[in-house]
Structure 1
Amino acid sequence: MTGIDFATPGALALALLALPLLFVLRTRRRAAIPVSSAAALSGARPGPRLRLARALPALRVLAVVLLAVAVAGPRRGDARTIVPGEGVDIVLSLDLSSSMLQTFGDSTRLAVTKEVVREFIRTRENDRVGLVVFQQDALALSPPSTDYAALDRMVADLDSGLLPDGTGIGVGLAAALTMLQESTAASRVVILLTDGEHNAPSIRPEAAAALAAALNIRVYTIGVVSESPLERGREIDERLLRAIADQTGGRYFVASNPGQLQDVYDEISSLERSRITRDAFDDYDYFSPWFAGAAAALLALELALGGTVLRRSPG
């Protein structure tokens, strides 16, 4: 929970209006009654009724201060409230085909991908993350979850050969969409990573992309490629990956070294944070009505007392 603050703190300056009001009320005098001598009254002390009557204007001054506080909007709340059904659900769809064992920097494509994905998972706060792997077929390993420790262990244990070899981009995407189909999150995203061309006799990638667009699920595609443009053209179908991303409102990224792959996941994370502030909205209890009510009560009390028990006799 946060402490007390004000929606419009500058409005507190209105309380300064109480100063000239206090000055006017203290210096205002009723018309004096002429007497021949005040010597006889010099030792007289004012009675309780007179003292209360003199203090009566303080109620008006205090009412002005309370009204200024009410206008400033005092509030207390939790600025990190999670609303059920709001947020980002992300499914990571990872290619585990044998080509992912090729050298990539000082390691292999798969090893680097696993480290980058594990870091991506560790930096989540309230996003739910699911995991799908694919080769010729797809395997759903975890539905969207905030159990990041379990997800981390799953990714760490991934290896090529879990499924018949091949690159089924369509089935890898379709399996991820199935996970997100019933999601009520405000933002639903698939991040699909591959280093090859679709070559599996399964769901066509174009059909899966059309389904993603119909479900309003963004697909970010990542091509892990060689640094050589010549090799890159033979390894991967960039036209297809770009078309999938464009059709669903996502983006296509290229990673030809470990640093670029890390940058890609960082950029995707930044893009999603900028799209929706799902877990950081202001949920406050406002106390303005209480202060305004108290000010009105003080003004009413002043009028009631000034017009009845503390009413001065006409001079």
Structure 2
Amino acid sequence: MNGLDFAAPAALALVLLAIPLAVAARRRPVPLPVSTLAPLAGARPGWRLRFSRALPALRILAVVLLAIAVAGPRRGDARTLVPGEGIDIVISLDLSSSMLARFGDSNRLTVTKDVVREFIRSRENDRVGLVVFQQDALPLSPPSTDYAALDRMVADLDSGLLPDGTGIGVGLAAALSMLQESTAASRIVILLTDGEHNAPSIRPEDAAALAAALKIRVYTIGIVSESPGERAREIDEDLLREIAAQTGGRYFAASDPGQLADVYDEISSLERSRITREAFDDYDYFAPWFAGAGAALLALELLLAGTLLRRLPA
């Protein structure tokens, strides 16, 4: 279990309100002038008088308890960090013929496969699924922790498995269908392409709206040319940015193999950080108990002051 903390720790300053109450309680009442105290010399204070002196303590304790309640005492449950309940990831890869263009010392598809395989090998407990797309989409594996099988699957990928084209919308929709029943704390799609949507199928905007409705984040990656002119002609970066922004993800551009590897590392870091924060969203809140106890003490003080410990008029 995580330790006790406060949702609004600054509110604990309200405890200082108990100080003037304590000072007031220590002040002695102004004595009444009497001719002599001799007749009372041997008298002992009655039980009402003794208990009435404790009434201010009830009010002080009530103020302390109410201040703690306002600060929102809570305890997070670290048991939500159970292995296997972390991230469900579906990788959606463009296999269109343009992915065979030169990229570094190899081509875009070969470099992408190497980076994706390394990304898969670095997983711990996260489930990973795989979708490929050209004009149509082909789901190859639902989210799984069989990383060895996924590695072999990615290694065997090649362009030409489907009719050529770039169906970004159908590639995203196929990935979403794998995740819609997932109960993982974090569900994401990593979609990589090097071109513009040109397939007569699902519109990317419609697929992005579905992802947003399902609360599935989409990270989009564009394999781009270093030349700004070629980059503008080859890929619709505005669309990829829009998809990512609409779903709470991010768009990344990679113009060389090193950048592409960095992109996957950053996505991994972002999601790991996010799931660590979300793991402590499951709290036990104790404010009602403190508030109830404080209110009960105030009510008790008022009840006693008005009945058993009521001061008689002089």
Question: Which band: TM-score by shorter chain?
Answer: 0.5 to 0.7
Q: How does 1:265-304 map to 2 (within 5 A)?
A: 265-266=264-265, 279=278, 282-304=281-303
Structure 2 Cα separation of the partners of residues 59 and 310 of structure 1: 13
Structure 1 window deviating more from structure 2 (54-63 vs 124-133): it is 124-133
Instruction: Please give the alpha-carbon distance, in whole angstroms, between the structure 2 residues aligned to 1:161 and 1:292.
Output: 62
**Alignment match, 2:151:** 155
Query: How far apart in 2 are the matches of 1:287 and 1:274?
Result: 27
Hey, what's the Cα distance between the residues in 1 that align with 2:284 and 2:274?
27
SS at match of 2:308: coil
Indicate if the aligned counterparts of 1:90 and 1:188 stay in contact, CA closer than 8 A.
Answer: yes
State the TM-score, normalizing by the size of structure 2.
Answer: 0.68
Instruction: Provide the residue aligned with 1:211 in structure 2.
Output: 203
**Cα distance, 1:97–1:155 mapped onto 2, change above 3 Å:** farther
Q: Select between 164-173 and 5-14 the one with higher mean Cα deviation.
A: 164-173
**Superposition map of 1:85-234 within 5 A:** 90-95=90-95, 104-105=104-105, 112-121=111-120, 129-133=128-132, 139-143=138-142, 145=143, 147=144, 149-151=145-147, 153-160=149-156, 168-170=164-166, 174-181=170-177, 183-184=179-180, 189-193=189-193, 205-208=198-201, 211-216=203-208, 220-223=220-223
Rounded Cα–Cα distance in structure 2 between residues aligned with 1:56 and 1:272: 55
Residue in 1 aligned with 2:47? Answer: 48
**Distance across 1 between alignment mates of 2:165 and 2:221:** 10
- Shift in Å at residue 289 of structure 1? 2.8
Matched, 1:77 2:73: no
- Percent of residue pairs identical: 49
Task: Find the aligned partners of 2:7 and 2:98 in 1 and give their Cα distance.
Answer: 58
Q: Does 1:242 align with 2:230?
A: no
Contact 1:81 1:281 in 2 (8 A): yes
Q: Which amino acid aligns with 1:168?
A: D
Q: Deviations over 1:139-178 (max 9, x none)?
A: 42113x2x3x324541245334768578834368635522
Indicate the residue corresponding to 2:84 in structure 1: none
> Conserved in 1, the CA contact under 8 Å of 2:135 and 2:199?
no
Greater Rg by CA: 1
Moved more, 212-221 or 46-55: 212-221
1:24 correspondence with 2:24: yes
Helix, strand or coil for the counterpart of 1:140?
strand
Q: Which has the larger displacement, 163-172 or 53-62? A: 163-172
- The gaps in structure 2 that reach 5 residues or longer are 82-86, 212-217, 245-250
- The secondary structure found in structure 1 opposite 2:191 is strand
Residue 67 of structure 1 contacts residue 295 of structure 1 at CA under 8 Å; is this kept in 2?
Answer: yes
Residue 79 of structure 1, CA deviation: 8.0
Separation in 1, partners of 2:178, 2:192: 19
The CA RMSD over aligned residues, in Å, is: 4.7
- Alignment check: 8 A CA contact 1:88 1:127 kept: yes
CA distance in 1, matches of 2:103, 2:11: 64
List per-residue Cα deviations over 1:50-104 (Å, max 9, x = no partner): 221221221111111112112212223348969xxxx885432153979859895
Question: Which amino acid in structure 2 is aligned with residue 213 of structure 1?
Answer: E
| 98 and 68 in structure 1: CA distance in 2 versus 1, 3 angstrom threshold | closer
Query: How far has the Cα of 1:28 moved from its partner?
Result: 3.6
Gaps of 5+ in 1: 199-203
> TM-score normalised to the size of structure 1?
0.68
